[in-house]
A and B are shown apart, each in its own frame.
Chain A
Amino acid sequence: MSLSFKGKKVLRNFTLDVEWSIRNELAVLFGYSGAGKSMTLQMLAGLMAPDEGLIQLNGRVLFDNQAGIDLSPQKRSFGYVFQNLALFPHMTVKDNILYGAHGLGRDDRKQRAEEMIEQFMLSGLERKFPHEISGGQKQRVAFARALIRRPAALLLGEPFSACDNPLRIELQNFLQQVRRDFPIPVVLVTHDLTEALTLADKLIICVNGKVLQAGTPAEILNAPACPDVELLVNSSTMSLS
């Protein structure tokens, strides 16, 4: 399993020029806001097209400007959990999850939804609406909805950013469980370095639309590639101690 991204996009005051690839691991795109992390995620999902580049998922080309390939978001088989979770407020918990089961047979949908509800500890909440459940429960619904189709990779756009610390730790543990149950490449975007170091198998440091360094958290902590990364590492060490 692998996911590779090479993309360039020039906007008015910003140029994104990024290249990285990951295997079946949890990669964290880390950088402060305006680094181009969310833009990268949108390009992966097909919600925004790079000017040029190549995106491949398990050897399947999703985007290649030279070959004129640009698959729509519907055909990319990513699970995407948005920063605001994007649960449909007019649908119940169960309907939100079922909405993610597009393309499955009727019986399969029903059975898969029940499995997800149990697996994500949402039993008893099936008929509730998103505004009637807690923040942590909403997160779990968003994950269940994104994963019910068994996507080939999971994209997480800072879904924990609005959570307070205890909930964040609970959700980070939950994410580890998700990873055990769904062994697929995961790309998580965050501007929280502690979270990045805690969760990442591979850390990709983004600054001003460029990747400064990519490696395991230990590699980056021990051998920062440039002063900018070193500065980030030092601030993280300070915040961890």
Chain B
Amino acid sequence: MMEDSVLFSVKLSLWVAAVATVFVVLVGVTVAFFLARRTFRGKELLDVLFTLPLVLPPTVTGYYLIVVFGRNGLIGLPLFEWTGLNIMFTWYAAVLASFVVALPLMIKTTRAAIESVDESLILASYTLGHSEWWTALKVILPMAKKGILAGTVLSFARAMGEFGATLMLAGNIPGKTNTMPLAIYSAASSGDRAQANTMVLLFTVIAALFLYIANKLNKRVLS
């Protein structure tokens, strides 16, 4: 029988990753579409900016997020003054951290998938009278579907595994913000091997399952 605290962490991790992934898909597909299909000044700079969390230590990303969304942050302060909402040390913060860290994977995968759509199909759609948006909806996105799905699965897995930025932004509050990676850290550092073992095994199985799905989707994209 799984302990309540373990169950809470599993549920919280899945919930946080799911909510983050919804936003990752919406924002990631939109950004990837513009990066793949439009030419504008500063495009590559924007790409670098969105990709940075992939290479920065999550603690650095977390620190930036505190600067922006913290109680006295650039967005955090006006948000608090207008709405009384402070996202620090809540599950919202865990979602935000997961979102920022997983977004680059979504953008990279989706951009590549959109760029690999045969240009003549897009031009054919234009000559048949269809607008750019309708073409995106009916030709480009369906053709890039498998890449987008693979990106979604990878992003979900990455969001589930987020640790550093989550710790900085949401803290490690038992029963409130301790997602699986944080709970594993707590269990291991306090010597609770049994709990650590359970969660590590569980996490490994879930992550492996997601990678397997992502690989399958990727193979279907390439074939």
Please state if A74 and B121 are interface contacts (CB–CB under 8 Å): no
Distance between B144 CB and nearest chain A CB, rounded to angstroms: 10
Q: Are A47 and B126 in contact (CB under 8 A)?
A: yes
At the interface, yes or no: A100 with Cβ under 8 Å from chain B?
Answer: yes
Q: How large is the interface on A (under 10, 10 to 19, 20 to 34, 35 or more residues)?
A: 20 to 34
Whether B129 pairs with A88 at a CB distance below 8 angstroms is no
- Residues 101 to 148 of chain B near chain A (Cβ within 8 Å): 118, 120-121, 123-131, 138-139, 142-143, 145
Is A59's CB within 8 Å of the partner chain B?
A: no
Say whether, besides A86-B118, A88-B139, A47 and B123 are in contact (CB < 8 Å).
yes
Chain A residues in 8 Å Cβ range of B138: 99
A72: interface (CB < 8 Å): yes
Render B158-182 as a binary contact track against A, CB cut-off 8 A, 1 for contact: 0000000000000000000000000
Interface string of A68-80 (1 = CB under 8 A from B): 0000111010111
A138 within 8 Å of B by Cβ? no
Bound complex: CA A46 to CA B123 (Å): 10
Residues of A within 8 A of B131 (CB): 74
The secondary structure that dominates the B interface is helix
Chain B CB within 8 A of A90 CB: yes
Q: Shortest CB–CB separation between residue B133 and chain A, in angstroms?
A: 12
* Minimum CB–CB distance for B100 against chain A, Å: 32
B127 contact from A73, A84, A88, A103, Cβ within 8 A: A73
Bound complex: CA A80 to CA B123 (Å): 10
Q: Which B residues contact A (CB, under 8 angstroms)?
A: 118, 120-121, 123-131, 138-139, 142-143, 145
Of the A-B pairs whose beta carbons lie under 8 Å apart in the complex, a sample of 18, sorted by A's number, is A46-B127, A73-B127, A74-B131, A76-B127, A80-B124, A82-B120, A84-B118, A84-B120, A86-B123, A88-B121, A88-B143, A89-B143, A90-B145, A99-B128, A99-B130, A99-B138, A100-B128, A146-B127
In the A-B complex, the 8 residue pairs with the closest CB atoms: A86-B124, A102-B129, A80-B127, A73-B126, A86-B120, A100-B128, A74-B129, A82-B120
